[in-house]
Structure 1
Amino acid sequence: MIVALMGYMGSGKSTIGKALATLLNYKFLDLDDYIAAQENASIPELFNKRGELYFRKKETEYLNEILNSNENCVLALGGGTPCYGRNLELLLDNEQVNLFYLKLSIPLLTNRLFKERSQRPLISHIQSEDDLMEFIGKHLFERTQYYNQAEHVVNTDHKTQQDILEELLMILI
């Protein structure tokens, strides 16, 4: 089984994914980290040197590789992964995949992401919290149609990590 977590950047996919993998005794994979390791370059480097189209092509290639591995894992997707190409279809059509959307509100996303925006290529240029909130709002509006197609939508606003993990486990078990 593959437990795939999707949601906007900063929604907790990697943090929750690592903890869930430990509880399930599954391997944890962060798709962005996997891509970076395979390409021997960080995600910002790939965006800067090769461009977003190259990155998205590789993202689909490596997603397919993971989905076809027949290995139990918790997979944290990149924020844009389900929004490009056939990625969402690949996830939804795979019987081994349980797809979750970790949904976090715009104000909480803004609060989390403003502090770490220098490590995030899509928002590294944004200087104020108001501008970031506006960017996230517009971006999330475009992506929500993809995220909401997940089999399970988990609202994570004001929930502890333990609360979220318990909710995920109740669905999985």
Structure 2
Amino acid sequence: MIYLIGFMGSGKSTVASKLAQKLQCSYIEMDESIEKQEGLTIPEMFTQQGEDYFRKKEREFLRNTKGEAVVSTGGGVILSPENREILRRGTAVYLHADWETIVDRLKNDTSRPLWSGDEAEKKQRFEDRLPLYKETAHHVVVVDDKAPAVIAEEIAARLKS
């Protein structure tokens, strides 16, 4: 299992689909899978059930995912020590984007519950998660100013070596 991890807006979903094509394996979008299973969108889960409920669903998803696939994870999946352990059983690839890249990519995004609100809070969340991404990752790929196809190619090359 290949897990793409990184902050929201780092390109995990886009890169995961391209990487799966390149590796000729299946692609799983974690958030979409949880939404389908729960019959609720992520924002609805956060509003109706709370963030803890959603994080529990992430853990269940990781525990139950089997086979060979490229998995695009949610940005907060690394918050749980159990999740980090599961991710490390596969191959975790951290897509690192600079803060400025994240802000630029998400400036008009209103669909992410943890992107709304105070700029300082968002930046603090980003900085708090950085060490967890790095601790979890087998590979770190910088994604700033790179096309998704180029990033997928770089990951594929690293996986072969």
Q: Give the shorter-chain TM-score range.
A: over 0.9
1:53 alignment partner in structure 2: 52
Instruction: Please point out which of 137, 144, 147 is paired with 1:157.
Output: 144
Q: How far is the alpha carbon of 1:62 from its aligned partner?
A: 1.1
Other structure's SS at 1:157 match: coil
Shift of 1:162: 2.6
The answer for the alignment partner of 1:146 in structure 2 is 132
| Per-residue Cα deviation, 1:130-173 (whole angstroms, up to 9, x for no partner) | x53x3332111110111002010001111122321221011112
Query: What are the equivalent positions in structure 2 for 1:25-40 lying under 5 Å apart?
Result: 25-40=24-39
- Counterpart code for 1:32: D
Secondary structure class of the residue paired with 2:149? helix
- 8 Å Cα contact 1:4-1:100 kept in structure 2: yes
Does 2:113 correspond to 1:121?
yes
| Partner SS for 1:91 | helix
Q: Which amino acid aligns with 1:155?
A: V
Counterpart of 2:100 in structure 1 is 107
**Bigger RCO of structures 1 and 2 (CA < 8 A, at least 6 apart):** 2
Question: Which region of structure 1 is more displaced relative to structure 2, 51-60 or 9-18?
Answer: 51-60
> Which residue of 87, 90, 110 corresponds with 1:91?
87
Q: Which amino acid aligns with 2:93?
A: F
Q: Which ranges of structure 2 fall in alignment gaps of 5 or more residues?
A: none
CA contact (8 A) 2:4 2:93 kept: yes
> Residue by residue, what CA displacement relative to the aligned partner does 1:85-114 show, whole Å, maximum 9, x if unpaired?
41001111x2xx111000000011001111
**How many percent of aligned residue pairs carry the same amino acid?**
36
Partner of 1:4: 3
Contact (CA 8 Å) 1:106, 1:136: kept in 2 or not?
no
Query: SS of the residue aligned with 1:115?
Result: coil
Question: How many angstroms apart in 2 are the aligned matches of 1:55 and 1:160?
Answer: 30
What is the TM-score when the length of structure 2 is the normalising length?
A: 0.94
Partner of residue 137 from structure 1, selected from 117, 123, 129:
123
Q: After the TM superposition, which of the residue ranges 75-84 and 153-162 deviates more from structure 2?
A: 153-162
**Which residues of structure 1 form unaligned runs of 5+?**
none
Query: In the alignment, residue 74 of structure 1 is paired with which amino acid?
Result: V
In structure 2, how many angstroms separate the alpha carbons of the residues matched to 1:122 and 1:167?
29
